[in-house]
Amino acid sequence: MFMHPGASAEICPSFLEVIKTLFMGTPSNYEAAMEPFSPDQDMSEAGAQLKMMVDTLPQKARDSIMKLLEKIIKSSLCN
């Protein structure tokens, strides 16, 4: 997902992995995806709060958000 051949080369694959784990991964997967970016404590805590909030969304809503993000990335507006 998100690795569409026509997608913009300017989109960082690591950023896409962070977004994917935010919506689809476990909290520990999300933390691991964030780790290479060396977030400070405030950033880590804010990210954990965001992940907890995202996890309260129904699975269908999270799936739809991922589909929307993929559609945006594949859009001619991003190429």
pLDDT, residue 10, reads: 73
What is the torsion angle, in degrees rounded to the nearest 10, for the CA atoms of residue 57, residue 63, residue 69 and residue 71?
-150
Domain ranges of the chain: 13-74
Q: Print pLDDT tens along the chain (79 aa).
A: 445 555 445 778 888 899 999 999 999 999 999 999 999 999 999 999 999 999 999 999 999 999 999 999 888 888 7
Q: 0.85 exceeded by the pTM?
A: no
Query: What is the enclosing helix (H) or strand (E) of 39?
Result: none
Sign of CA dihedral 20, 16, 36, 51: negative
Would you state the structure tokens that stand for residue 49, as one six-digit string? Answer: 């709060």
Tokens 């001619």: give the residue: 76
- Report the CATH number of the 13-74 domain: 1.10.210.10
pLDDT, residue 9, reads: 53
